[in-house]
Structure 1
């Protein structure tokens, strides 16, 4: 044994070619994956020093003892590391470079055997090697830009020299995970082999390098020298890429552009200088609020997944499901279930509705074939997972039912009571309601313990969130089965308790309330849209209302007003009601706050409509200019306050789940971290003062809770110690 640590062992072994080599194995104790924590990096430095001290070695094999290679750095450490400041981070990265460079400079050939995921720092480890062999099960990539940072341990230096600047920019700026065929085509790996042959192939490569069949020194020199691009080629590669990537990333995500600049600045430099440029840029980005919030999102996502995983362990198998209601929503649910491998019955009372649902599913499968996600044969096979029916004849073997009929409490209650008589005693019933109380719907059921909400967001195939709503009588088994089914469908389930609007819609409608106040006081709704889109929302409130549908918005708002009259009930008409009464429903009938025309791809394109402005005069005061800051405060304050109330009322368990639900459900700007992180970033005392000032003018929708005021006085946060 050359070295033994908690995560790394190094052993001497002989190859078939008779060469004595070192095998460095990453196998972190008591973990299912390998990750590069500060402690593991320290071990790696010690292990490399031990290898350097050994005599007569002819090679190094780096491998993993787990199903993954290395999934990256330990992101749970990031906030505490970032808190140490820019200078510390720069020096930390330079120390890691010293360790990685020591691997690259060993006096014999080196090879990495990539058996599974090799991401971030894990990918940067294998880039230090002279050769890389990948299993058919492997993937590699540098996803750091998705966390608001850039590869800081040599990825921006070594990858462009290995696969070319254009390809490296695509990998790094896009943060992609790359399959073996793509990695081989680009030259990121030297061979792809069947999984069982991985280690043998890697050892063979070392033998061939020692026999001078493979020139490892030439490979090494290419990685350590400047990029082989002349000035014109550099300008073409980098300036074109910056323009394209800036358009894709948008103004709120600086990391992809910074990564390109780092590659560009280091292009003409030797290894050491290029790495110094990279280390400095990493440290600067890491100190930004965007990086802090995106790392926070990753941590929140882990909380959500961990909680869902605990439910999943309690769940009975869900092997056959059904959806009631075969419209666009029912077809979307059927598609999602079938595409992920869970067979589903699609029932309706009308054959033309069945055809509509099947048409929707076929359209979605067709798009996946166009994108080469499925072959035509795979699509045909997956379509057989959807079985249309006009009766309950086959429902006795169904494990879980999703009711997705019209959003009407009487209709839903009747359908649920009807289907309950046709299923087994243990079948779970769920309702895809967006606003109707689960406790109310449960009153019509004989087995309310088997019933909960399963709220999908439209369009089903794109929106990641599913709200699983627990009623007063819902059992843990029902929740567990529904969570497990949502996960099997590729969705992120978040469990919430019953109340009007549940979590997401309850929080969204105060935001629309803020919009209504602005319009009534003379704000131009198009300017409000532009300001909120600049703030980071994918669409402004007027545009979002057009997408949601004015009829849906009016109905949901009535539910909210009934449930929370002191905050959400309004006297007189709002601009939303004016649109609804004048049959301007939004995109569904091509007129709302905007009018809609088809673009070249047949998708609705919004255009200004003077008639909308004329109608709004019924409720709007004299035109008034509001600053960007005023618009943002008036829109965001009621949304954030309602999120706080949901947490205080126990509708959602944790700040992490509340923030993730808003990001996954309504497109809250991810770089801002969620409503509660947004309050933390502003400071609770500042936020409370802003809310109190607005509340004096605009009423209870803007009033901070007593508990929030107390938190502000005590200097508390929703996320303690930047974790």
Structure 2
């Protein structure tokens, strides 16, 4: 044994080839934490001091290679100043360069995920051999930074600037076939042959069949692009990436600039450019929030896994109601391999649900995302039925009939009589109280809410709603099923609107008040879209459906009359009264035309503006910032109330639900991180000022005022790290 740490060991194999194995103690995965980087330095020193070596294989003892740096350290690291971060990365560059400069051929055996720092580590070796099932990529731009350990330097020199830009700016995770095609890896083999293939590459390099020294020269030298080629490659890419990333995400564009600036430089100079760019981005609010988002996502998934461990197996499911929503649920379940019965009382409804599934599958087929065989398999997992004949073997039933409490209660009572005693019933309701729906059930402990968001196949969130009598077993099984479907479940407690809709409707309340004060709804849309929302409030209402919004607002007003009841007619009600239901009938705040892809495209409509003028009480001159405040404060305040009321269990779950459920701007981190970023005291002062004029919807809670007085935050502020390794 040449070196032994609790994450890395180095040993000689067959006398002359060293094997460096990554095997982080007590962890299911390998990650490059500060301590692991320290061990890597010691391992490299051992290799440099060992005589007679003719090669090095870098491998993993885990199911993955390395998933990247330890992101849990980022907030503390990035709290330090830029010079610290530049120095930290410069020292890691020096370490990685020492691996690249070892006096014998080197190869990395990629057996699983090789992401971020794991990918960059593999790029230091002369060759890479990859298992057929492995994946590789540099996803750092999704965290608001650029690859900082040589990815922007080595990858373009290996696979060309255009391919590297696609990988780095896009943050893509690439399969073995793609990696081999562009030259990121030198061989792809079955998992069982990986180590033999790695040894074979070492032997052939030593025999002179492969020139590993020429590979090093290529990685150390400037990119082989003349001035015209550089201009075409980089400037074209900047235009395309800027359009895709948008103005709020600087990292993708900055990654192109780093590659461009380093293109004409040697290794060390190009690495210095990369280190400076990394440090600059690491200090931005966008990076802080996106790293926080990653941490929140991990916390939410970890909590879901705990539920999943306690759940009974969900192997056969059913959906009641075969409309667009029922068809979407059936598709998602079947696509993820869980067979599902799709029941309705009308054959034409069954056909509608099947057509929804077929449409989604056909799109996947046309895009080359699945084969004809897979399409047939998915459709085979959906069994339509007009009766309860096969419901005796169903583990979980999702009720997805019309949003009407009387109809839902009747259907749930009926299905309960036709399933086994331990079958879980879940209602896909967006507003109706779970306790109300459970009132007539004989086994309310087996009942909960399972609120999908539309369109089901795209929206990642599922709210799992616990009623007063819902058992832990019912919640666990529903969470497990949501995860089987590829969704992110968040468990919330019962209340009007649950979490997401309860928070969303104060936002719409802020919008209605703006319209009453003379703000043009198209201006409000543009301002909120520039703020970072995927669509402004009027456009979102059209997409949700005006009738759906009116129904939900009535539920909210009944549940929270002090702040959500509306005096007089709102702009939303005006749309409803004039049968302008939004996209579903082609007219709402906008009118809708089909674009070239057959998707609805919003168009300005004078008639909508004329109708909305009925509710304008006065014309105020409001700044863009005032409009943002009047929209965001009620949404954020209701999120605070949901946390204080115990509707949601943690700030992380609350923020992730808003990002996954209604498209809260990810780069802002969520409603509670948004308050933290503003400062709790500053937010309370703003809310107090607005509440004095606009009412209880804006009023801060006593607890939030207490937090402001005590200097508290929803998220703990990071303590700056003391060292980089």
| TM-score bin (small chain) | over 0.9
Which residue, 457, 462, 468 being the options, matches 1:466? 462
The residue matched to 1:606 in structure 2 has which SS?
strand
**Paired residues of 1:145 and 1:172 also in contact (CA < 8 A):** yes
Aligned-pair Cα RMSD in Å: 0.7
- 1:488 equivalent to 2:484? Answer yes
Give how far 1:22 is off.
Answer: 1.0
Query: Which residue of the partner structure matches residue 11 of structure 2?
Result: 11
Q: Distance in 1 between matches of 2:616 and 2:583?
A: 23
Hey, what does 1:162 align to over in structure 2?
158
Partner of 1:333: 329
Equivalent in the alignment of 2:701: 705
For 1:603-682, list aligned pairs within 5 A: 603-682=599-678
Q: Distance in 1 between matches of 2:108 and 2:582?
A: 56
CA–CA distance in structure 1, aligned partners of residues 494 and 368 of structure 2: 41
**What does residue 196 of structure 1 align with?**
192
**Alignment partner of 1:293 is 2:281:** no
Q: What is the CA-CA distance between 1:722 and the residue it aligns to?
A: 3.5
Counterparts of 1:598 and 1:623, CA distance in 2? 34
Mind listing any 5+ residue stretches in structure 1 that lack a counterpart? none
Correspondence list, 1:412-451, <5 A: 412-451=408-447
Match of residue 102 from structure 1 = 98
The superposition leaves residues 90-133 of structure 1 with CA deviations (integer Å, 9 ceiling, x where unpaired) of 10000000110000000110000000000000000000000000
Q: CA deviation at 1:621?
A: 2.8
- Structure-1 residue corresponding to 2:301: 305
How far apart are the structure 2 equivalents of 1:572 and 1:507?
A: 22
Residue 618 of structure 1 aligns to a residue whose secondary structure is helix
Q: Deviations over 1:187-222 (max 9, x none)?
A: 000000011000001001100111111100000100
Query: What's 2:180 paired with?
Result: 184
The alpha-carbon deviation at position 616 of structure 1 amounts to 1.0
1:314 matched to 2:310? The reply is yes
Partners of 2:647 and 2:374 lie apart in 1 by 41
Q: Deviations over 1:674-718 (max 9, x none)?
A: 000000000000000000000000000000000000000000000
For the Cα contact (< 8 Å) 1:524–1:623, is it kept in 2? Answer: no
> In structure 2, the residue corresponding to 1:275 is in which secondary structure?
helix
2:24 aligns with 28
Q: CA deviation at 1:624?
A: 3.3
What does the per-residue CA deviation read over 1:122-176, in whole Å, with 9 as the maximum and x for residues that have no partner? 0000000000000112110000000000100000000000000000000001111
Listed one character per residue, the Cα deviations across residues 372-425 of structure 1 (whole Å, up to 9, x for unaligned) are: 111011101111000000000100000000000000000000000000000000
- TM-aligned CA deviation for residue 622 of structure 1: 4.1
Q: 1:81 aligns with which of 77, 83, 86?
A: 77
* Residue of 367, 373, 394 corresponding to 1:371: 367
Please give the per-residue CA displacement for 1:251-306, whole angstroms capped at 9, x wherever unaligned.
00000000000000000000000000000000000000000000000000011000
Q: Would you say 1:172 and 2:168 are equivalent positions?
A: yes
- In 1, Cα distance between the equivalents of 2:228 and 2:709? 59
- Which of residues 567, 577, 584 is equivalent to 1:588? 584
Q: How far apart, in 1, do the equivalents of 2:8 and 2:259 lie? A: 31
Q: Within 1, Cα distance between the matches of 2:101 and 2:148?
A: 19
Match of residue 563 from structure 1: 559
CA-to-aligned-CA distance 1:574-600 (integer Å, 9 cap, x gap):
000011011011011111111111111
- List gaps (5 residues or longer) in structure 2: 720-725
Q: Secondary structure at the match of 1:722?
A: coil
Pairwise CA distance, 1:339: 0.1
Name the structure 1 match of 2:545.
549
State the shift of 1:370 in Å.
Answer: 1.4
Q: Pick from 710, 714, 720: which aligns with 1:718?
A: 714
TM-superposed deviation, 1:571: 1.1
Distance 1:290 1:720 in 2: 17
Which residue is equivalent to 1:270? 266
Shift of 1:635: 0.1
Q: What TM-score, normalized by structure 1, do the two folds share?
A: 0.99
Structure 1 distance, partners of 2:374, 2:591, is 39
2:723 alignment counterpart: none
CA distance in 1, matches of 2:148, 2:379: 45
Please give the residue correspondences for 1:54-65 in structure 2 after superposition, counting only pairs within 5 Å: 54-65=50-61
Question: 3-state DSSP class of the match of 1:197?
Answer: helix
What secondary structure does 1:302 align onto? helix
Q: 1:348 matched to which residue of 2?
A: 344
Following superposition, which runs of at least 4 residues in structure 1 exceed 2 angstroms of deviation?
Answer: 621-625
- Give, in whole Å, the separation in 1 of the partners of 2:72 and 2:712: 21
* In 2, Cα distance between equivalents of 1:549 and 1:407: 13
Give 1:535's match in structure 2, choosing from 525, 531, 534.
531
Q: Report how many aligned residue pairs link the two structures.
A: 719
Contact kept, 8 Å, 1:338 with 1:382, in 2: the verdict is yes
Between the aligned partners of 1:41 and 1:673, the Cα distance in structure 2 is 29
Residue 717 of structure 2 aligns to a residue whose secondary structure is helix
TM-score by length of 2: 0.99
